[in-house]
Structures are given as C-alpha cells and as structure tokens.
Amino acid sequence: MRLGIISALAEEQHGLIEAIEGPCKRTHGMRDYTTGKLWEIDAVCVLSRIGKVAAAMTAAILVEKFEVTHIVFTGVAGSADADVNVGDIVVAESLIQHDFDASPLFPRYQIPLTGLSHFETDVKLSERMAGAGQQFIEHGLANVISPETVQTFKLNNPRLHRGLIASGDQFIGKPGQVTQLKAALPALLAVEMEGAAVAQVCFELGIPFAVIRTISDKANEDAATDFMHFVKTVASPYAFDILQRFCRA
Ligand code: ADE
C-alpha cells in the first residue's frame, strides 16, 4: 500500500508531516506533497485546501504523479443530524455532491456519465478507519485532549457514526440551510466541502478510499465560530491519534 493522506487545512493535519520518517517534500500545482514512512506505511501527505475542485485536483495528482494506491481524507465536518454532535466522528459509507444539479438532463445529484449520485467508500479501508476512530474514542481521547478542552467542547461522550456525507462548495451555516439538505437527503449525517469530490476521482481512477470527519459544528448560525474554535484546538489531536491507530492496525 502507498497511502495518500489528504486534509483541507493545516489545522486538520498538524503534526503529521513531522511524524514522517525520511520526509521528502515536492511542490506541485501550488501544494506540498511530503512522502516518507508513516508508522511503517509508505505515505504521501498533502493539504488540498478548501472545496471540491481543490480536493479533486489533489486526489488526481496523488494518484497520477505520486502513485498512491489508496487515499484517506481526514478533517472536520458540520453535523446534519440531531444525533450527531460536536466531537463525534463520522466515517463515510458513501458521499454525494449536494450542490450538483444537471436536471432535467440528468436526475438531481447524478454525476453525468457515471450514472451515480452516491459514491461508496472502500469497505476494508473504512472498516479499518472506523476501528481506529472507535479506539481513539475509548482509549486515546483522554490522553491527547486536556480536561478543560473536553469540558469546553463537551467531548465527554463522543460517538462514532457511519453513513452518508455530503460535500458542496458552500460552508453550511445560514438559517434553514442544513434543514433543507436533511429534508432532501434524510440519511445525511454530515456536511463538508471535499469528500465527495475525492470520492468521484477515486471511483473514476479505481482507487480505494475512505473519509473520516470529526464534527466541529452543527451547521447552524454558530457554525463559523464553532468551526474556528474547534479546528484550532481539537481537530489535529483527533486526526493525528486516529491516523496513528489506523496505520498501526
Ligand atoms: N466543515 C466543517 N463544518 C462545515 C460546515 N458547516 N459546512 C461545510 N463544511 C464544513
């Protein structure tokens, strides 16, 4: 396995580059790709930046130029379900581009010529990622997040969920926005801005992939403030510990 690891922002991947043994940095298309060994796994780490085009480009370059065989995307997301709370983890089973609409030429959400609206993640990779996430909740969280931070963000009883994540080129936080998305896609657990783009690229190139997201906000009017606080304090320790458990599994 040669594993590509993508996050949108530096705050979501802090510490990972430093953990790479024998790092070699190459810049291509305005992004830094760092190759090396990550806990015995041959890995390439990169920040995609925000949005579907940025993520799609990064995934394609990882495959075509850096020859990764598998991709995982790790980062934060907004909750789209009353039972999914800040600090919970969502491992995607499938992803959809919620802002894609070529109707009436094609059904709403369907990506033309693929015949698909939902792109499924790799079962084995997602299983391994969910295992790492669950272990983090049970054994890791208390070691890497201070009791004060646990209290501030109410991280006492986080849970892991598996299901549908939707991506779009919009930060969801306006009144009614998430309610509308949930009404259209009742199975929806979380919203973000990259995963489904990576999913489409991986589907088209035949690359197994997984997406794991920590919930930073409830995609409501407080979302932007909650997101900023969460990514500054909590996102990286979560991602770092989970990826370490994933690589060592
Ligand atoms: N990533 C984290 N929170 C988000 C939100 N509310 N909307 C879109 N992407 C997000």
User: Does 241 sit in the ligand 1 pocket, CB within 6 Å?
Assistant: no
Query: 168-210: per-residue pLDDT in tens?
Result: 999 999 989 999 999 999 999 999 999 999 999 999 999 999 9
Q: What is the pTM of this model?
A: 0.96
User: Nearest Cα to 198, choosing from 57, 94, 56?
Assistant: 56
Could you give the angle at which helices 223-233 and 235-248 cross, rounded to 10 degrees?
50
| Whether the Cβ atoms of residue 134 and residue 249 lie closer than 8 Å to each other | no
C-alpha 23: how far from chain center: 23
- Domain assignment present for residue 101? The answer is yes
Asked whether residue 185 is assigned to any structural domain, the reply reads yes
Residue 237 is assigned to a structural domain of this protein? yes
75 close to 48: Cβ distance less than 8 angstroms: no
Q: Give the rounded distance of the alpha carbon of 166 from its chain centre.
A: 11
pLDDT digits (tens, 9 = 90+) for 17-53: 999 999 999 999 999 999 999 999 999 999 999 999 9
Q: Is 172 in the pocket of ligand 1 (CB under 6 A)?
A: yes
Predicted confidence (pLDDT) per residue in 60-70, tens digit: 999 999 999 99
Give the active site residues.
Answer: 12, 217
pLDDT digits (tens, 9 = 90+) for 116-153: 999 999 999 999 999 999 999 999 898 999 999 999 99
We report the CATH number of the domain holding residue 137 as 3.40.50.1580
Average pLDDT, the chain: 96
Q: In this structure, is residue 53 part of a structural domain? A: no
* CB 219 less than 6 A from any atom of ligand 1: yes
User: Does 44 fall in a domain?
Assistant: no
Which atom of ligand 1 lies nearest, measured to the CA of 219?
Answer: 6
Q: Is residue 40 part of a domain?
A: no
Domain assignment of residue 49, yes or no? no
